[in-house]
Structure 1
Amino acid sequence: AKIKRVKGPYGKVHRGFLKGLTLVWSEIREVIREWQIHGQSVWVTGHSLGGALATLAVAAFGEEAKPIHGLYTFGQPRVGGKTFARNFDLEYQARTFRFVNNNDVVTRVPPRNLGYRHVGTVLMFDHAGILQTDLHFWNHFLDRVVGRIEDLGKPGTDGIKDHNMA
């Protein structure tokens, strides 16, 4: 089944994520604008769906030329297509940090083969819980395999347990 993308800030984005942001956007925008009027720095964060919504909120503020100082997400799904990711990263890549916990399955949906892409700089906790910044494909792949092997015979699956970030 195709996961529908619709026009959003900076390009096409996941319809459900944009709908979720739209439900709370007026209240969020009002609070953040008030903070900005008083000179406060705004940093945005979220986990899982909250990370997707945080990313869309930052993009929406970017289109309104409102400064956001940084974005930190944990276990975030992909939010939009190539155009969205490119446009978002042009403005925010140096201030966007996306944390992934080893085999967290949520970070791999919606799938790339449906045109979805991640944004920002990825930082990954490996199978031992050590934060890695050098994420060459082969090293990342091998670490995921080690995480799965170490998890064999334990209750639950590695991909779901890793989403808890614990």
Structure 2
Amino acid sequence: MKIYKTNKITDRTIQHLRYKFLIACLILTFLISCAVSAQPIQAVQGEDCFSRVFEEKAVGHSLVNAYLLMYSAYSTYENRIDVANFLEFKKKIKETFTPLGIDRFDFIDVRARTADTQAVIMSNDKLVIVAFRGSESSSNHKFSPVKMAYDWILTDFNFFKKRILWWGWGVKVHRGFYNAIEIVYDELKKYVDSHMAGTPKRLWITGHSLGAGIAPMAACRLSDDGISVQGLYTYAGPRLGNEDFVKAFKKRFPDMQRWVFDNDIVTKLPFKAMKFQHCALPNNIYADGKLVLADGEMKGPGKVRSHAPGMYLQKIYDLLPLDIKVVVPAPPGFGNDASSADAELERKFNGEAQVSEEDLSN
């Protein structure tokens, strides 16, 4: 009879096997992580551009700043970034600008008896941007008579002048734009103070259309309270006040940059006959794309279709050198497949505007 010996597994053997298994798992984990990290990561076009290429210390004209500030102003329109309400708007702004190098956000949305004002305050460790929204006539993807009344009638077309003695004897400004900053100023200053705290930062203020009317008023009010404004860029802005106001304003903000595209009709309002003036010479972009800095007022009748914010955004983008184009976000519309809806919105706007102009000329 044969007697077979069984292999006895000792505790030491089990422990040894456990160590081998653990080492194998660690090696496998390392190999998997290497494989995952080797996968191409899709970078966001314009990633960290507000930190890397925005010229926060610039004085006067900066083309890259002009584009990024117009991009900021464009993005304040709910109907341009396709959101249904202000909660969605705040979420979309954060999703859009966080990859671009902005890490802090605050929002203003105030409707009072005299005006309706929206703004975004956003910052990183180098700069603070205040962007005011322009006029809208829709809300939640639908035409809104209330929105139109507040933005257009109570604000844009409130051409009565308001006397501001503390800005200079005889100074009178557009009442609608002054009211629009008055109803939000305390909140705005609180946010700006908070964003400017800590490491030294430069303050930049911008806006398109109605936003371009409010932005200079905000700059004056903040300056009154000792807050230095590094840059003030407006787009498609109307005339703001009388001659005394313009003289006082130019002394305080001699480097304001005012952008106008192809005889934009809003830049011709309120009328000169009403004793309103612009606060700075225009940086004119002509229909053929030519840019003339500190130019005179364009000749001829105003064009409604030139007022669209997407037009300004695209035309300034076209002026950028190639090495800058590849490191900033592309315009959302105009043939960019990433946002065909916005391109369609601009085409629709331009088509309706052309019909309106033809009706006016007949």
**Alpha-carbon distance between aligned partners in 1 of 2:196 and 2:178, rounded to the nearest angstrom:** 23
Q: 2:281 touches 2:294 (CA, 8 Å); kept in 1?
A: no
Change (3 A) 1:129 1:82: same
The letter of the residue matching 1:67 is: S
Query: TM-score, structure 1 length as denominator?
Result: 0.80
Q: Secondary structure at the match of 1:42?
A: strand
Kindly state the Cα deviation for residue 63 of structure 1 after the two structures are TM-superposed.
2.1
Pair 1:3-2:163 in alignment: no
Identity of aligned residues (%): 25
1:25: how far off? 1.3
In structure 2, C-alpha distance between the alignment counterparts of 1:125 and 1:164, rounded to whole Å: 14
CA offset digits 1:106-158 (Å, max 9, x no partner): 00111111111111242011011221126356xx32xx58xxxxxxxxxxxx7
Instruction: State the distance in 1 between where 2:196 and 2:248 align.
Output: 23
Stretches of 4+ aligned residues off by more than 4 angstroms: none
1:77-100 CA-to-partner distances (Å, cap 9, x unmatched) read: 111111111111001022x10000
Greater length-normalized contact order (CA 8 Å, ≥ 6 residues apart): 1
| 2:207 maps to which of 46, 58, 61 | 46
CA distance change for structure 1 residues 36 and 121 in 2, over 3 Å: closer, same or farther? farther
SS at match of 2:287: coil
Question: Bigger radius of gyration, 1 or 2?
Answer: 2
Q: Distance in 1 between matches of 2:237 and 2:206?
A: 10
Number of residue-to-residue matches in the alignment: 148
- Which residue of the partner structure matches residue 290 of structure 2? 130
* Residue number in structure 2 paired with 1:159: 303
Residue 87 to residue 160, structure 1, CA distance change in 2 (3 Å):
same
Distance 1:134 1:24, change over 3 A: closer
**TM-score between both structures, scaled by the size of structure 2:** 0.39
Match runs of 1:42-121 below 5 Å: 42-94=203-255, 96-121=256-281
Q: Which runs of 5+ in 2 are unaligned?
A: 1-157, 312-362
Question: 1:13, 1:81 within 8 Å by CA — same for their partners in 2?
Answer: yes
* CA contact 2:202–2:229 (8 Å) conserved in 1: yes
Aligned counterparts of 1:82 and 1:73: Cα–Cα separation in 2: 19
The more displaced of 16-25 and 101-110 is 16-25
- C-alpha separation between the residues in 2 aligned to 1:103 and 1:131? 13
Structure 2: distance between partners of 1:51 and 1:36: 22
Counterpart of 2:306 in structure 1: which amino acid? D
